[in-house]
Amino acid sequence: MSTDLDTIKELAKGTFMPDFFGARIDEEGLWGALRQLLAGIQAAPNTRIDKIKQCAAPAATACDFIDKIKAANLWLALQELVGRIQVK
């Protein structure tokens, strides 16, 4: 999982276009890892994190997820969140 996380973090950090991020996550086969990562976030109540999790839950692919993220105007929040996540 840490290798997947490193790849996801690098993609998020180096990607300015959310559609490109979604396509790369799907191409790299990392949607399951990203979805699991988002579902496992345990933080103090935070509406942005909750909305990101709600967008991820029903999405079949990373591109579907990104479409929902863009519609909710949460791309920058997702990018920041993924960059800050640490896995032990």
The structural domains of the chain, with segments of one domain joined by +, span: 2-84
Q: Is the pLDDT of residue 5 over 70?
A: yes
pLDDT over 90 for what percent of the chain?
55
pLDDT digits (tens, 9 = 90+) for 27-70: 999 999 999 888 888 877 888 999 999 999 999 999 999 999 99
Question: Going by C-beta distance under 8 Å and a sequence separation of 6 or more, which residues neighbour residue 80?
Answer: none
**What pLDDT is stored for residue 62 in this prediction?**
95
Q: What's the angle, vertex CA 76, arms to CA 10 and CA 67, rounded to 5? A: 90
**What pLDDT is stored for residue 74 in this prediction?**
95
Q: Residue 84's CB: how many other CB atoms inside 10 A?
A: 8
The C-alpha R_g of the chain, in whole angstroms, comes to 12
**What pLDDT is stored for residue 84 in this prediction?**
84
Q: Residue 37's CB: how many other CB atoms inside 10 A?
A: 20
